[in-house]
Amino acid sequence: MKKARIDNQPYRYLYERDGRYVFRRVIPLGLRPAANGKTEIKESVKKGSPAAALTFYMSARRKSDDLLSHLAKGGSPGSPPLAMLRETTAAMGLTYADADALIDSDDLSSIVNRLRVWDRDGKPRGMQVAALLGATPDIVTLEDMLAFYLRDTEFDRQDKNAAEQRASLRPYKRAVERASNFWGKDRDISRLKRADAMEYRRHLNEKIRDGAFGPNTASKMIGSIRKLINAYNDGHGIHSPNPLEKISFKQPKNKRPSFSTEYIKSKWLQGDPFCKLNFDARCILFTMLDSGAGIKEICGLLPDDIVLDHEIPHIIIRDNALRKVKTNNRNRTVPLIGHALSSMKEFPKGFPRYQNEIGHTTFSNTTNKFLRENDLLQTSKHSCYCLRHSFIDRMRRHLIPLDIQKSIVGHGDGLSSSKSNKDITEHYGEGYDLTTKLGMISPLAMDFK
């Protein structure tokens, strides 16, 4: 037996023998007692096209991951997850049915047909026998689905730093914790009904009424669970309807407020109200004021992203070692004017106090606390992020064309509430140059004079 290659690429656990692909994965020593002494997971299939071989490998790898996870939690090979049973049966051209259903059937041809398949496939053992003869499945919990999702999307998160990875997974973990506490941590989600989903919606609705969180948060909780169920079902070839489909809460049409120019002039630019705020934070705040850039974008600037010796001083917002941009539209160059230019001259290499993975969070917490305690927020709904919205309002008042507004703040079609305003030309060409952008936003520097 030798290591197998598909399109000249090796794949872990995959071997070739006598015209067959064989998937062999060793069961760790600590899990062998739970596996009834078995030392490896083994599955084989006749050699076919590279595409078929890859499909076999991905299926076998996923099933082995699920089985090892199942054993690690104290399960036994005799009661594998329902998804594994369904997937294994489907690979043999059959539909999974539990043993009771097979026995109670008036038509014994189904059992006979399964025995013929078993004989045709070389009288396999283990999982394939369990699937063919309707072994009682183990339950699939939300924690199982979350674990599968983490494995299945690992590649998608590889470009994120550790803090960004934690932030991207936090909503799913919180949603699983709340739903598991409601339905029960050992609840079999593969058998969840629509009525169960509606009961959970009523529970969240009560929490909204009590002020525990808003409808947007509740909808995100449901959406996270729905996404986990869909990912698990898709990954295991399960075609059951998602009981959480089309369940959400009506969103209030709240718009993030912006600071008025008059408020900034009278409260921020009279005297020295920011003298007790650390200088890094102060300059980040005033860079936001006259650039429209976001907190994370400015905190994550590195020396190569700051160009002050150019005829048009500017910053380059792009992926770097500290952070990834939110969307492709956020990749852009922004001319520096007014307070943004003077602030960046104070920090030509970026803001060392906040140049780390959680710098933007630290800045936001520090600055918003300072603004609240020093009566520098226009209303209780304002925060430092509202400066970005203020900048957009100022561009509107100066009648800057919408597509140039988008190119400066890094929006796609987000500045327009109508999908009919979508312009296909935004996907062509190199976009606006620095000279054009500067010519458009230069008048904004006079707003606070």
CB within 8 A of 29, min separation 6: which ones? none
Identify whether 410 is part of a domain.
Answer: yes
Range of the domain at 89: 2-132
- Please indicate, yes or no, whether residues 95 and 150 belong to a single structural domain of this protein: no
Say yes or no: 281 and 379 in one domain.
yes
Residues 231 and 287 in one domain: no
* 254 located within any domain: no
Q: Do residues 268 and 384 both lie within one domain?
A: yes
> Do residues 324 and 160 make contact, with C-beta atoms less than 8 angstroms apart?
yes
CA-nearest of 449, 446, 432, 448 to 312 is 432
Q: Which element (helix H / strand E) includes 86?
A: helix 82-91
DSSP of 247-279, one letter per residue?
A: ---PPP--------HHHIIIIISSS-TTTTS-H
Residue 313 Cα distances to 290, 305, 308, 439, angstroms: 13, 11, 4, 13
3-state class percentages of the chain: helix first, strand second, coil last, to nearest 5: 50, 10, 40
272 and 391 together in one domain: yes
- Shared domain for 216 and 287, answered yes or no, is no
In a shared domain, residues 438 and 343: yes
Tokens 């606006």 label which residue?
A: 432
pLDDT attached to residue 136? 58
The dihedral through the CA atoms of 323, 327, 331, 335 has a sign that is negative
**Amino acid type, 407:** S
Q: Are residues 413 and 273 in the same domain?
A: yes
Q: Are residues 324 and 408 in the same domain?
A: yes
Side-chain-side CA neighbours of residue 432 (13 Å)? 22
Per-residue pLDDT, 158: 77
Same domain, 108 and 181: no
- Any domain includes 137: no
Q: What is the pLDDT along the chain (449 residues), one digit of tens a residue?
A: 788 888 888 888 888 887 788 889 998 888 877 777 788 888 887 777 878 888 888 888 888 887 887 777 666 655 666 667 777 788 788 887 777 677 766 667 778 888 888 888 777 766 677 777 776 566 788 998 998 898 888 888 877 888 888 888 999 999 999 999 999 988 888 889 999 999 999 999 999 999 899 899 999 999 999 999 999 888 877 788 999 999 999 877 667 799 999 999 999 999 999 999 999 999 999 999 999 999 999 999 999 999 999 999 999 999 998 888 888 888 999 999 999 999 999 999 999 999 998 899 999 999 999 999 999 999 999 999 999 999 999 999 999 999 999 999 998 754 444 444 444 444 444 568 999 999 999 999 999 98
| pLDDT given for residue 75 in this prediction | 65
**253, burial (CB in 10 Å: exposed 0-12, middle 13-18, buried 19+):** exposed
How far is Cα 280 from Cα 351, in angstroms, rounded to an integer? 6
- Domain boundary (193, 217, 235) is at 235
End residue of a domain, out of 169, 200, 235: 235
State the Cα–Cα distance between residues 416 and 406, nearest whole angstrom. 10
Phi, psi of 324, rounded to the nearest 5 degrees: -105, 150
Task: Report d(CA 426, CA 297) in Å as an integer.
Answer: 22
Number of folded domains in the chain?
Answer: 3
Owner of token pair 């005829």: 311
- The answer on 321 and 441 residing in a single domain is yes
Sheet holding 314-317, edge to edge: 306-307, 314-317, 332-335
In order, the DSSP letters of 94-134 are: -----HHHHHH-S-THHHHHHHHHHHHTT---THHHHHHTT
Could you give the CA distance from residue 114 to residue 412 in angstroms, rounded to a whole number?
A: 55
β pairing state of 40-46 and 332-335: unpaired
In a domain, 244, yes or no: no
pLDDT of residue 137: 60
Supply 197's token pair.
Answer: 């989903």
- Residue 99 in tokens: 């043993």
Residue 245 domain flag:
no
d(CA 326, CA 412): 12
- How many Cβ atoms from other residues are within 10 Å of residue 86's Cβ? 22
- Report yes or no on 75 lying in a domain: yes
Q: Are residues 51 and 91 in the same domain?
A: yes
User: Would 249 be classed as within a structural domain?
Assistant: no
Domain boundary among 108, 132, 156: 132
Nearest to 191, CA basis, from 91, 81, 37: 81
pLDDT of residue 106: 66
Which residues, other chains included, contact 26 with Cβ-Cβ below 8 Å and sequence gap of 6+? 39, 40
